[in-house]
């Protein structure tokens, strides 16, 4: 029997035990989420998992989502909430917790990936292989990487030169370095703190993928969109591994069934669609200016991106090895049949 066939048989056996366990009542799991169920983050990255588990595991396991920061609105605290049992699941943003997830920075590097689908699949595979530090205490339900972030400002950006002196919110230090080299003044801020800074005039703009511009109200205060595609943002829906392993086997099976590539592939497809729709919406809005970088500006940006990647790799032999591993995974994925037209 092949390994795949064995695994499927094992899952079938576990699921056959559901009636016996269901008699004891369903296990309820708490999921901490910092914003609303209307957000694209929820609809793409969390909702599909919650809906699938709650439907398939009815009577056995149910996930209750605590929206809008009810458990805690602090993004950097979400992994801790999962580890100390305050929540059972939460979204972790490695860029907000770089000491806990140091290796996730490789997915923040600019210019490495074609799109969010490619990056998310490689992130998923490396997490499952145990190749990234910081994830061992967690079961990673979904590993996601955004499309390259664009720049959205209330000031005009027609060329890279227009970035000089603009104060721009960034997600992580790598993105900050790229923007600094391009002449902007980066400000590291969590996503859910950015609107206040825009409204108070502390920053001129923010870096997010198009699908995120209206998530927290940024679109009301920014009308100039420069589609440069800076580095991406990795996120992960995580669960305490010990908590998962303490659950009845059938409940574990439902969670595992809708995790990994099942979820990451759906999330990346969902965000790709929303990014395209929002980019077209920007272009159709006469109150907005949407600029694709010129060939000259792209060449400038790519030179900066290459220097940022090399500087990160040169920081340690470990970084160099990790970058080499990611590039090998990129080459493997691009050459596989599943990526061919």
Q: Facing residues of 66 across strands? A: 32
pLDDT of residue 337: 62
Distance CA 53, CA 46 (A): 11
Structure token digits, residue 318: 């470990």
Structure token digits, residue 65: 């989502």
Dihedral of alpha carbons 260, 266, 272, 277, sign: negative
Residues with Cβ within 8 Å of 23's Cβ and at least 6 positions away in sequence, in order, are none
On the question of a common fold for 18-147+233-273 and 150-231+287-312, the answer reads: yes
Architecture label for domain 150-231+287-312: 3-Layer(aba) Sandwich (3.40)
Per-residue pLDDT of the chain (341 residues; tens, 9 = 90+): 444 444 445 545 545 544 544 445 789 999 999 999 999 999 999 999 999 999 999 999 999 999 999 999 999 999 999 999 999 999 999 988 889 999 999 999 999 999 999 999 999 999 999 999 999 999 999 999 999 899 999 999 999 999 999 999 998 999 999 999 999 999 999 888 899 999 999 999 999 988 888 888 888 999 999 999 898 999 999 999 999 999 999 999 999 999 999 999 999 999 999 989 988 888 899 999 999 999 999 999 999 999 999 999 999 999 999 999 999 999 999 998 655 44
Distance CA 256, CA 155 (A): 46
Alpha carbon of residue 60 to chain centroid: 29
Architecture label for domain 18-147+233-273: 3-Layer(aba) Sandwich (3.40)
Residues with Cβ within 8 Å of 18's Cβ and at least 6 positions away in sequence, in order, are 59, 60, 250
Distance CA 224, CA 158 (A): 9
pLDDT of residue 214: 86
Sketch the domain layout of the chain as residue ranges. 18-147+233-273, 150-231+287-312
Q: What is the pTM of this model?
A: 0.86
User: Which DSSP string do the residues of 42-83 spell out, in sequence order?
Assistant: IIIIIHHHHHHHHHHTTTTEEEEEE-TTSS---GGGHHHHHH
Which residue do the tokens 């992130």 mark? 123
């Amino acid at each position: 029997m092949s390994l795949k066939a064995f695994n499927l048989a094992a899952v079938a056996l576990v699921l056959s035990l559901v009636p016996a366990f269901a008699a004891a009542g369903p296990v309820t799991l708490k999921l901490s989420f910092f914003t609303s169920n209307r957000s694209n983050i929820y609809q793409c990255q969390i909702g599909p998992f919650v809906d699938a588990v709650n439907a398939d595991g009815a009577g056995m396991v149910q996930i209750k989502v605590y929206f809008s920061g009810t458990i805690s609105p602090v993004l950097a605290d979400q992994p801790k909430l999962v580890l100390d049992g305050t929540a059972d699941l939460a979204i972790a943003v490695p860029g907000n917790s770089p000491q806990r997830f140091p290796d996730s920075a490789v997915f923040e590097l600019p210019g490495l990936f074609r799109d969010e689908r490619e990056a998310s699949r490689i992130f998923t595979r490396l997490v499952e292989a145990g190749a990234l530090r910081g994830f061992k205490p967690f079961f990673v339900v979904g590993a996601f990487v955004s499309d390259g972030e664009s720049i959205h400002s209330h000031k005009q950006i027609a060329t890279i030169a227009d970035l000089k002196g603009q104060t721009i919110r960034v997600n992580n230090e790598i993105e900050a370095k790229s923007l600094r080299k391009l002449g902007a003044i980066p400000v590291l801020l969590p996503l859910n703190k950015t609107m206040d800074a825009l409204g108070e005039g502390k920053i001129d703009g923010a870096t997010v993928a198009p699908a995120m511009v209206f998530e927290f109200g940024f679109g009301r205060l920014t009308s100039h969109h420069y589609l440069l595609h800076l580095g991406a943002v990795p996120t992960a829906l995580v669960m305490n591994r010990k908590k998962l392993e303490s659950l009845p086997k059938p409940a574990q099976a439902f969670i595992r069934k809708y995790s990994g590539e099942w979820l990451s592939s759906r999330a990346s497809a969902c965000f790709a669609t929303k990014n395209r729709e929002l980019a077209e919406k920007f272009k159709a809005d006469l109150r907005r200016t949407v600029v694709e970088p010129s060939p000259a500006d792209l060449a400038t940006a790519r030179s900066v991106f290459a220097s940022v990647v090399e500087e990160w790799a040169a920081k340690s032999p470990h970084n160099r090895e990790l970058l080499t591993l990611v590039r090998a995974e990129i080459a493997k994925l691009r050459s596989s049949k599943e990526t061919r037209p």
